[in-house]
Structure 1
Amino acid sequence: MPLYKKISALSYLAIFYLLIGLFLRIILLFNPITQSSFTTIEILKIFSLGCLSDFFVFVVASFFLWLYLIFISNSKYNKPYGYIIFGLLLTMLAYISFGNTILDEYGGALPKIGIIFIATKTFFFGLFLFLPQYRERFRLWMFSFVLFLYVLLLLQNGISEYFFWNEFGVKYNFIAVNYLIYTNEVIGNIMESYPIIPIFSVLFAAVGTLTFYLVKYTKNYLQHIPNFKQKIKLSAVYLILFVVSLWAIPTLSKTENSINIFANELQSNGIYKFYQAFMKSELDYFKFYKTLPKEEANSHLQRLIPGSNENTFLRTIGSDSTETKKNVVLITIESLSADFMKRYGNDKNLTPFLDSLANKSLEFTNIYAVGNRTVRGLEAVTLCLPPTAGESVVKRKDNQNKFTTASIFKKKGYKVNYLYGGDAFFDNMESFFGGNGYNIIDKKTFQPQEISFANVWGVCDEDMAKKAIQTMNADAKTGKPFFSHWMTVSNHRPFTYPANKIDIPNDAKSREGGVKYTDYALKQFFEMAKKQPWFKNTIFVIVADHCASSAGKIELPLDKYRIPAFIYDPSQNKPKQFNTVMSQIDIMPTVFGLLHFDYQSKFYGQDVMKTTYQPRAFIATYQDLGLIKDNVLTILSPKQKVKQFNILLKPDLNIPNEYQTHYEEIELQTPNIKSEKEAISYYQTASLLLKNKKYNNVN
């Protein structure tokens, strides 16, 4: 059989994918949402360069199919190799089933997925090995199943691209990435919005029919499996195409340079656009959200944040008292929802130490996290900026040399550290904090003897507490004040921690155990800190990064964003409560106010203790941007959508008023124009500052 016929499975699938791309472009070109005319050159680029881009994307996407085909062999079942491979598979299965693997460290469904995958591989290898008389039949079934999956995914992607275009008028962007993150909510929305059963019935019937004919014309590969030399030749050709494709795909994307946005989108490949959105992590506010004229948005912002400059947003923050250069320790606690604490109604005694410390502090009882990921919380306390559409600035490429809390401290002569028990490479933290002037202390800086317990997320919070004390002692000896930002890790799946520390077993892997152990570790930290000479000249800022969950009946359920926050100053014996609504981005500007700092600021966050503070809070997902103000929640969403809700308290008589977290959110039938314009002004101007690189550090 000619060598080229042995790649018929790949070639037929490639033709199928190219036809999908061709028909999709024709359909989208005449879609009512494509409100544009096209020049002859644009039409030629859409179909020629678009088709070429599709081909190269398919080459990369077919990698796993090539890998599957190239490993089809009869010789691997010969003695003794077949028995050796089968023995290795059984050993691997036993290890991941009964041993303590990295999959177990992470927890969740991952260990089960790993076991199912290896068990399936072992089972089928055993069938092929011990039942050679059925090998051809089993192989045909598996071959058919693999092709079925590829046909299904390619056709499903085409349908998804059509519906996405129908919704947004573009190929995939960060909203599509967001859909993968919020799977449950998205599936529910799809089920309610489209006739899913008829669509999927037709889809599976079409896929089944196409697979039948595809198998019919390509099963000769199984009947004449290439020998070793032929596989080398085929692999060489494929790998050359693969390497060329890795260069060609981004090169072709640069030709999407028409002033006609629809032409660029139609020329592009949806799968590569999805990859770009995933890597870029941004969503263009001005393309997808409701906006105001620039002058009007700036005018609103100057009223909301007095002293702001419409071009650079730089303003002077003054104090009428002498600066106090105390040390500052900021502790952001992983996933500490307000309702884990006793004062907010929890009766499980999960945070005895934090509850006791809050009683001695300046406590902010009505504060909201800006988002539902750690990087959003880190962004909030570091940039003091409202959350912008897409991924956090922490995870973006342009995340360095920003105007941060560290830049203020460094100008005041402080030593600045970021402490994290895991590897700061995760979630781009190393790039963000290192690129903004922080000295990073993470797991890589630990000696083996300094680690008593660790899991996949890093060293336990107790070990990090000891490291933090060592770091602060060293900084104190320099004679300079220090600012240390510590991000905890233990209250995170898999919720494992050292044994015999708290009354919840360390192998329970429960959220409650993670919360209580972190509380215990923080108690150990403060007990060590009290013995240090710098303790009474230090203020401690404790705030959660986000809540433990974010799902609710509406896009932004308020109770899923309520977090605890307080500032403890050992030199002060006057506990105080601040019960007015505020945002996570206000924490550090308030600290600067307590220290009586004079400084130049670009922060949207404000000192809430000042009389000029206007109460409001920001809460968001990756695409829904919310503003809480005057008992109204305004939500800005893609496609220029705006929703508003009246916020009505649902009182719990067993909880003091200042700790009530549950509200009924009733959608407004008549829009509150004032709140809507204020929400747009905040998010539009913040997005513009980042886009134009005007939120950079001031040297």
Structure 2
Amino acid sequence: MKRILDSRFGIVFILAITACVLFLILRTALLINNIAVLDLKVLDIPLIYGAGLIYDLAFLSYLLIPVVIYLALLPNKRYQGRIHRYIAYIIAILVIGLIFFDMVSEWLFWDEFQVRFNFISVDYLVYRREVTGNISESYPVPLLLTGVAICTLIVFVIIKRPIDLALKATTSLKKRLVGALILLLIPTGCYLALTSETFSHVSENNYKNELAKNGPYQFFYAFFANELDYEQFYQTGDKQVLDQRLRGLVKQDNQTFTSTVPFDISRQVSNVGPEKKLNVMMIVVESLSGDYMTRFGNKLNLTPHLDELANNSLFFNNFYATGNRTVRGMEALTLSIPPTPGQSVIHRPHNEGLFSLGSLLRDKGYDSKFIYGGYGYFDNMNYFFSHNGFDIVDRNSYAKDESVFGNVWGVADEYSFLRASREADKSYQAKKPFYSFIMTTSNHRPYTFPEGRVDSPSGHYEGAVKYTDYAINKFIEDSRKKPWFDDTIFIIVADHCAGSAGKSDLPLERYHIPLFIYSPKHVKPGQFNAITNQIDVAPTIMGLMNSSYVSRFFGKDVLRMKPEEGGRALMGTYQKVALYRDNKMAILSPNKKVDVLEDVKTVPTIHDRTADPALVDDTLSYYQGASYQLHNGLMLHKAGENK
């Protein structure tokens, strides 16, 4: 052991041993603090600490990879120099300080959630203002940080002498490279070990599983996994009971279920008469809040063309987004699923081959295309759409006359619409119907657009909204001249509102967005007042086409809703998910918390689940069902099923 500590890589071993001891102390403290709920048995201790050591080594081996490479390549003369000594001291202090900071953070996090770091901790990076404010008001932050600094210096003083001895080592380049190679194999071994069930699930008692884990390792895992485990963190119910309830919530009078598997809502949709092969232009408008429109009370006349179009369309007055990010809107409009906790499905791994409107229409002979004025690698959009039934048309493929004006987010909307029109021309010439999912970008900061289009300057949201209104109107007017116009349904819908802040956790007004269905030859203008949601768009489009198909959509064809149905909306943040109807909202939160809000549109009052058990059970049915589907392959597209 002495030979190892006195070697070139001695500092790596010193830091690793120190960190493992600190992680051991934290794990033991958490174990003692939770002894009452652990139900410890003789073999639990070696399992918890054994698996824990692997997790600790995994995180440390990843963390120290740059240090190992640096030490392997540094010549002996510089290695033994004064500058390198100070660099080594700084690295040691940083590593120790970060681990002490982690220990404090994990203790507080566990105190609130009874788990190691997960997607909630990643979520804290998104809502930094709220989180830092909450922490500063809840804990003595200056005292804690002072304690971290003092403990870091004490430990550094203890290990400084061994570090100094290691800094005197002289090692040939060959031995350094061999040593580095051996050390770099450790992360690979740890990764392989942690992919096995043995280390990820040491017990049926989840407290024991969490104790075995390493907080920083779990943080980065959650960062890339992008999901909160629904059954672990949210209220659940009996699967068989909720399955039957969910079937009742999604079924309509022209549908028959084709599966008895729990939460498999596959159903045959049967419509009488010939199917209409209508084209679909779905214009998804960046951040178009409902309150931008004059018809919803805006006094600035930002959307004169859209306000006029609303009178000539089937316009939805009580339509709501599922979330407050673009990917949430895309997810709902494409997959017709509730906003499950954590990141959007678009960001998650294993999101390929899902049942989507794009894949469904492609099976029916359509050209399904995702058309975006920006670079589609952003938010994983290109990957998601290309693996779920769409061809990709993004900024990389735009011609010069389609890229005359743009900013960091993408080309101006009028040029995206120009490209969409040209793609429609190609499909028409090939005698194929088309479905184009067009994502706009101009109504987004920095709010820049070509000069001379509207009477407001660039750089402010008012001008950007006016420009968006102008560009959509121009696109529709230009489309009137096209041979495909008469047989095209134009869907105009926002991805989400411009803001998400409000007095409550899920402020209803921050989810209210417009929806237009415009097709002079096929859709009668009117006002639709029932509560509807982005997840209802896909099945409603299929209904307008009088299409018969096997559906896995959670949404409804709202044009077949019965008069007595008041409608509902599903919505959420990263952590909280909700069901809204009848001026009430049931909200599910981590730690299996359930709240019922009454008088949502006026002054919401919070009650427990007993205020409306039926609303709560319906909420559980939607979200537990959607989570179960995603994890059990029940949401997959079956090629050829709908040809």
Common fold: TM-score over 0.5? yes
Of 45, 50, 59, the match for 2:61: 59
Instruction: Tell me whether 195-204 or 520-529 shows the greater mean CA deviation.
Output: 195-204
Identity over aligned pairs, percent: 39
1:4, CA displacement in angstroms?
Answer: 4.0
1:317 aligns with 2:317: no
What's the CA shift string for 1:204-260, capped at 9, x where partnerless? Answer: 3333444566667757899x7x99x87896576446523531442342452314343
1:652 matched residue in structure 2: none
TM-score (norm 2): 0.87
Q: Partner amino acid for 2:617?
A: K
1:682 matched residue in structure 2: 622
1:434 matched residue in structure 2: 386
2:48 matched residue in structure 1: 46
In 2, Cα distance between the equivalents of 1:239 and 1:565? 59
In 1, Cα distance between the equivalents of 2:327 and 2:305? 26
Change (3 A) 1:363 1:211: farther
1:334 aligns with 2:334: no
Q: Any idea what SS the aligned residue of 1:431 has?
A: helix
What's the CA shift string for 1:603-627, capped at 9, x where partnerless? Answer: 1111222233551101101221101
In 2, Cα distance between the equivalents of 1:367 and 1:60? 47
Q: Note the 1:255-334 alignment, pairs <5 A.
A: 255-256=198-199, 257-260=201-204, 261-306=206-251, 309=257, 311=261, 312-320=264-272, 322-334=274-286
Q: Any idea what SS the aligned residue of 1:440 has?
A: strand
1:83 matched residue in structure 2: none
**Does the 8 Å contact 2:530/2:566 carry over to 1?**
no
In 2, Cα distance between the equivalents of 1:34 and 1:414? 60
Pairwise CA RMSD? 3.3
1:490 matched residue in structure 2: 442
2:428 matched residue in structure 1: 476
TM-score (norm 1): 0.80
**Does the 8 Å contact 1:34/1:169 carry over to 2?**
no
Q: Partner amino acid for 1:596?
A: N
Change (3 A) 1:192 1:504: same
2:118 matched residue in structure 1: 173
What's the CA shift string for 1:181-213, capped at 9, x where partnerless? Answer: 222222333344444444334333333444566
In 1, Cα distance between the equivalents of 2:166 and 2:112? 42
In 1, Cα distance between the equivalents of 2:65 and 2:477? 55
Instruction: Provide the aligned length of Structure 1 versus Structure 2.
Output: 622
1:546 matched residue in structure 2: 496
Q: Partner amino acid for 2:607?
A: L
Q: Any idea what SS the aligned residue of 2:232 has?
A: helix
What's the CA shift string for 1:285-311, capped at 9, x where partnerless? Answer: 222211111222123223323357452
1:576 aligns with 2:526: yes
1:598 matched residue in structure 2: 548
In 1, Cα distance between the equivalents of 2:91 and 2:500? 37
**Does the 8 Å contact 1:390/1:622 carry over to 2?**
yes
Q: Partner amino acid for 2:599?
A: I
Q: Any idea what SS the aligned residue of 2:281 has?
A: strand
**Does the 8 Å contact 1:490/1:514 carry over to 2?**
yes
Of 535, 538, 541, the match for 1:588: 538
1:402 aligns with 2:354: yes
Q: Partner amino acid for 2:191?
A: I
**Does the 8 Å contact 1:331/1:485 carry over to 2?**
yes
Change (3 A) 1:242 1:648: same
1:423 matched residue in structure 2: 375
2:557 matched residue in structure 1: 607
In 2, Cα distance between the equivalents of 1:33 and 1:614? 50
**Does the 8 Å contact 1:291/1:680 carry over to 2?**
yes
Q: Partner amino acid for 2:97?
A: L
1:141, CA displacement in angstroms?
Answer: 8.2
In 2, Cα distance between the equivalents of 1:20 and 1:513? 56
Change (3 A) 1:297 1:53: closer
Q: Note the 1:112-131 alignment, pairs <5 A.
A: none
Change (3 A) 1:13 1:63: same
Change (3 A) 1:474 1:203: same
In 2, Cα distance between the equivalents of 1:402 and 1:477? 29
2:398 matched residue in structure 1: 446
**Does the 8 Å contact 2:319/2:512 carry over to 1?**
yes
**Does the 8 Å contact 2:314/2:523 carry over to 1?**
no
Of 516, 526, 529, the match for 2:466: 516
1:529 aligns with 2:479: yes
Q: Any idea what SS the aligned residue of 1:187 has?
A: helix
**Does the 8 Å contact 1:377/1:584 carry over to 2?**
yes
Of 148, 160, 164, the match for 2:109: 164
**Does the 8 Å contact 2:69/2:180 carry over to 1?**
no
1:631, CA displacement in angstroms?
Answer: 1.0
In 2, Cα distance between the equivalents of 1:409 and 1:56? 45
In 2, Cα distance between the equivalents of 1:277 and 1:515? 36
In 2, Cα distance between the equivalents of 1:590 and 1:568? 13
Of 566, 570, 577, the match for 1:625: 577
**Does the 8 Å contact 1:301/1:308 carry over to 2?**
no
2:149 matched residue in structure 1: 204
**Does the 8 Å contact 1:28/1:34 carry over to 2?**
no
1:249 matched residue in structure 2: 191
Of 600, 604, 607, the match for 1:665: 604
Change (3 A) 1:565 1:14: same
**Does the 8 Å contact 1:415/1:482 carry over to 2?**
yes
1:23 matched residue in structure 2: 25
**Does the 8 Å contact 1:332/1:486 carry over to 2?**
yes
2:15 matched residue in structure 1: 13
What's the CA shift string for 1:585-618, capped at 9, x where partnerless? Answer: 1122222223322332221111222233551101
